[in-house]
Structure 1
Amino acid sequence: MSTSNWMIYGANGYTGKLIAEEAVRRGLKPILAGRNPQAIEALAKQLELPYRCFDLHDMSGSDLADIDLVLHCAGPFSATAEPMMRACIAQGCHYLDITGEVAVFELGQQLSDQAKAANVVLIPGVGFDVIPTDCVAARLKQAMPDATRLTLAFDSRSGFSRGTAKTSAEALPKGSMIRQQGKLVATPLAHKTRTIAFADTPKLAVSIPWGDLSTAWFSTAIDNIEVYIPMSARKVKQLKRINWVRGLMGLGWVQALIKNRIEASLTGPSDSQRARHTTVIWGEVSNEKGQRIEARLDTANGYDVTVTGALAVTEFLLQNPDHSGYHTPSTLMGWQLVESLPGSGHIRLSGDTGASDGQAQAS
């Protein structure tokens, strides 16, 4: 594959633009693409890159005919992932995206056999969703092969881009989710809380329907998975109250109102804001013997992880194209991937590491 034959679709969005700018700094020459001709052309001229414009729901065979890899950045992925995945399979080019949506990961797994037949890799979630948590999950599974429960959490103050906020708005009416006995189980919002020591100070945290409920299950085969983020007791109560009106929040006019407000008020965090707000990842596995191992990892801001993570996977596949089927970041590149990203430390283990495979070390 040639590094000139790859595309960033949705390059004019907040995260897509950050990725395109960093790609240029690295000497890469992606083709910029999207459905907004004015925005795509302006960005392409600014970065001196080739571009093309097309709508995902009105694609022709020529749109991807000469493309080896698509890095898909146009959300909400609930609406855009499937047409792009299927187009990539049809045209024989690898598919990457930066989603965190469980349904998109599940779709990728369902299309894995088709992707294998076409010698195509499908790897959604090559950003902050879900590289750090997926790598922590894989490291914990290595440390405790007989683990039956996995809990993941992250403490981040990254702020929202418009795309992330709109995806969150779409998710609210659906409630939350956990994986239980191998099955995805729908739950009310704020269904579970627990106290987690991300660093020195324990924090109240609430369960969320994060993508690892799908990806970590694929990566580790652990059948019971939950994901948490810190939240104040007041906000937890507010979230629980939303359960009474979740049905109304799914109405088209309500979603339109929320998204219009997001469009008018959000732009995404600035460079200085991202630099100030780094992230802590926490994870825990336990087995039937009652043994447990915890993991902690410091990373850069979530959006910066998305930029460097997406490009790391892109460059890997361009240089090592002979992979196919559905993957998570850790199944494609190993749990060490996250430690190679700028701003990331090492995954630190503590607890019953004597129950490990011999490779884990307490820290």
Structure 2
Amino acid sequence: MASTLLLYGATGYSGRLIAAELKHRQAVQPGAFSIVLAGRNAQPLIELANALGTAYCVLDLEDGQAQVRRVIGEHEATVIINAAGPFARTADRLAKAAIALGCHYVDINGEADVYRKVDDNGTEASAANVALVCGAGFWAAASNLLLDAALQALALPENTELGAIRIAMSRIKTFSRGSAETVWESLRQQVLVVRKGRNERDAVDRLVLRHEPVGKLERRFNFGDTRPTKVDDWRIASAANLVDTLAAQRTVEHRRRMVRTIESYVEAGRLARAAYQLGGWLAPLVANRTVRTLAQQPIELLAAGPTKKEREAEPHLIVLEIEDCLHNTLIDWRWKTPNVYQFTAQLAVGVAVRLGTGARLKGFLTPAQVLAATEVMQYPGAGTLRNCLLERRRGT
């Protein structure tokens, strides 16, 4: 029996890209699944559904859990894909609805607080044989797949202690409105990092979350994607409050490793770095409701997101560095990916299709527990992996 993938937030910027990717995958796998587009506003939803030839349903989360479950239940959804931000308002509601209905839940959330809140539903989801995959878009998923592949490639004994895992993303030049809002919100949050800690009661080492002031941590990373490396390929990135850090922690624990530190970084130009370093001073101001309302106005004037031409002209690079406890480099990988918004659609659909077409998985999962980096690298536009450490050893 074909599964049903219900996409909530289908008429938003990322939602439309995901809807188009679903149709593409449906053509590649005919009969494997049906598509239902969902959202609050009927007219744009009907127009999109007619254009793509899919079913649709009007769904407003403000109508309450009973109504939400009734509407989703009528369409017998196998997987709910949530593309509607702010995810602080939608993720937990839809995750709880999915658990109650016995269907899987996937979202493209990039907010750390939301990630942890969805994680809190993991035990209940596991009992209901439901999988929850939060952060299945570019943020979290891409670096998570890369890290999981790296930990397997190292082939180290279980519980081997590593020194550091650092994830870095190249600069995003063209933002969607939703991404701009997330960046603005991040200015009033401290940066989450993972550190090795010890529980004094049972003397067991664990990975624990710590907070660092915004703008405190900066490093140079090699963002070059050609050989040989040039001097200007080494650019500064600032530590950021990314879900990638939380997903990395879960993957390290899943692979039974220990690491002293996990940090995530984003490349930034001089002006962006200066603004970010002022984040600690700006935090009380950003938290003010009046200031936030005023700041929202220019964000709303932005285009919904980059055009197709802009997406094609702006691929991205993920850097993964892993060191041992003596600061020796074990992994130095570069992955050139499609534009973050296009890759988000490909990754989210890949996770949803896998869950909806027979994968027997349950509980709160990272994207790497559903997909493998090797298969994702076969997606259109997904670049090859560069092993820069191996290149240096060979002198290339």
TM-score normalised to structure 2 length: 0.84
Pair 130,362 (structure 1): closer, same or farther in 2 beyond 3 Å: farther
- Contact map agreement 1:115 1:122 (CA 8 A) in 2: yes
Pair 86,7 (structure 1): closer, same or farther in 2 beyond 3 Å: same
- Spell out, residue by residue over 1:97-141, the C-alpha distance to the aligned partner (whole angstroms, 9 max, x if none): 011111222223322111111111100111111222111211222
Q: How does 1:187-206 map to 2 (within 5 A)?
A: 187-199=212-224, 200=229, 201-206=233-238
Q: Work out which of the residue numbers 277, 302, 306 in structure 2 matches 1:265.
A: 302
Deviation at 1:223, TM superposition (A): 5.0
- Spell out, residue by residue over 1:329-361, the C-alpha distance to the aligned partner (whole angstroms, 9 max, x if none): 1122233243132212233334389xxxxxxx9
User: What is the aligned partner in structure 1 of residue 179 from structure 2?
Assistant: 164
Question: 1:215 and 2:247 equivalent?
Answer: yes
Pair 224,339 (structure 1): closer, same or farther in 2 beyond 3 Å: same
Tell me the number of residue pairs that the alignment of Structure 1 and Structure 2 aligns: 355
Could you tell me how far apart the structure 2 residues matched to 1:72 and 1:107 are? 15
- Contact map agreement 1:162 1:267 (CA 8 A) in 2: yes
Could you tell me how far apart the structure 2 residues matched to 1:138 and 1:148 are? 16
Question: 1:97 and 2:97 equivalent?
Answer: no
Q: Aligned with 2:320: secondary structure?
A: strand
Gaps of 5+ in 1: 354-360
- Spell out, residue by residue over 1:201-249, the C-alpha distance to the aligned partner (whole angstroms, 9 max, x if none): 1101111111111101101234521111112334322222232121121
What RMSD in Å do the two structures reach over aligned CA positions? 2.2
Question: 1:140 and 2:145 equivalent?
Answer: no
User: What is the aligned partner in structure 2 of residue 358 from structure 1?
Assistant: none
Question: 1:44 and 2:49 equivalent?
Answer: yes
User: What is the aligned partner in structure 2 of residue 288 from structure 1?
Assistant: 325
Q: Work out which of the residue numbers 326, 344, 349 in structure 2 matches 1:306.
A: 344
Deviation at 1:291, TM superposition (A): 2.4
Q: How does 1:73-92 map to 2 (within 5 A)?
A: 73-92=83-102
Q: Aligned with 1:129: secondary structure?
A: helix
Could you tell me how far apart the structure 2 residues matched to 1:362 and 1:247 are? 50
Could you tell me how far apart the structure 2 residues matched to 1:45 and 1:333 are? 31
Deviation at 1:273, TM superposition (A): 0.4
Could you tell me how far apart the structure 2 residues matched to 1:54 and 1:141 are? 41
Identity of aligned residues (%): 28
Q: How does 1:120-131 map to 2 (within 5 A)?
A: 120-131=130-141
Q: Which amino acid aligns with 1:288?
A: C
Query: After the TM superposition, which parts of structure 1 deviate over 6 Å for at least 4 consecutive aligned residues?
Result: none
- Spell out, residue by residue over 1:314-333, the C-alpha distance to the aligned partner (whole angstroms, 9 max, x if none): 22112224211111111222
Could you tell me how far apart the structure 1 residues matched to 2:395 and 2:359 are? 36
Q: Work out which of the residue numbers 346, 362, 366 in structure 2 matches 1:324.
A: 362
Which one has a bigger Cα radius of gyration?
2
User: What is the aligned partner in structure 2 of residue 253 from structure 1?
Assistant: 290
User: What is the aligned partner in structure 1 of residue 168 from structure 2?
Assistant: 153
Could you tell me how far apart the structure 2 residues matched to 1:245 and 1:171 are? 11
- Contact map agreement 1:279 1:299 (CA 8 A) in 2: yes
Could you tell me how far apart the structure 2 residues matched to 1:160 and 1:129 are? 14
